[in-house]
Chain A
């Protein structure tokens, strides 16, 4: 079990630049989630996929944010024209939906984004 992998672990960029993060879920997991976490707060939901379909998006996901999961495996989260307020930890999680309730989500260790 290789777990959920996120790349890069840290990203520093200037305001106005575009950034892209990658998430590799646990291989057989069909659901993939993106969360954002700022200092001292719990993670906040951004969006999730079942296979390649994006099923839900939070109001936090402005039009500068886009997420994809083209083949139902890895996912990318892109932020265009970054702003200071985008500085946060971006967390990815995956789970296996089998029809039984409440399968746990498995989280990666996140990508920490710092906007200069």
Chain B
């Protein structure tokens, strides 16, 4: 799987939007961009994924650059419960939809101040 680069840490204020960047300059045309987060003392939790178009769900939005070499996870209004490590992961789109393990980096540790 191709490599992703994320800042080690970011800070945000409660109720403000948060933009978490991810660089993936070696992404291939078949790689999906996935985001997971891990709250303290819990297992990782799926957040969102996309291929080319921007995506929205109840948790977050994913903005993908036109050249797909970078993406941004957007939390529209940060809450204290959003304090977590956020992982940006590339997954290969295999024939037949087969997919295997996730390859995690160190992620971005997000702190939210009240």
Residues of B within 8 A of A48 (CB): 100-101
CB 8 Å contact bits of B55-98 with A (1 = contact, 0 = none) = 00000000000000000000000000000010100010100111
B41 touches A102 (CB 8 A): no
State the Cβ distance, B60 to closest chain A Cβ, in Å: 13
Count of chain B residues with a beta carbon within 8 Å of a chain A beta carbon: 25
Q: Of the candidates A45, A56, A102, which one forms a contact with B49 in the assembled complex, judged by CB atoms under 8 Å apart?
A: A102
Count of chain A residues with a beta carbon within 8 Å of a chain B beta carbon: 29
CB 8 Å contact bits of A23-63 with B (1 = contact, 0 = none) = 00000000001010000111111001000000110100000
* B43 (CB) vs chain A CBs: closest residue: A107
A106 touches B106 (CB 8 A): no
The number of residue pairs between A and B whose CB atoms lie closer than 8 Å in the complex comes to 63
A93 touches B43 (CB 8 A): yes
A101 at the interface (CB under 8 A from B): yes
Residues of A within 8 A of B91 (CB): 102
A78 at the interface (CB under 8 A from B): no
* B98 (CB) vs chain A CBs: closest residue: A97
Question: Which A residues have a C-beta under 8 Å from some C-beta of B?
Answer: 4, 33, 35, 40-45, 48, 55-56, 58, 91, 93, 97-110
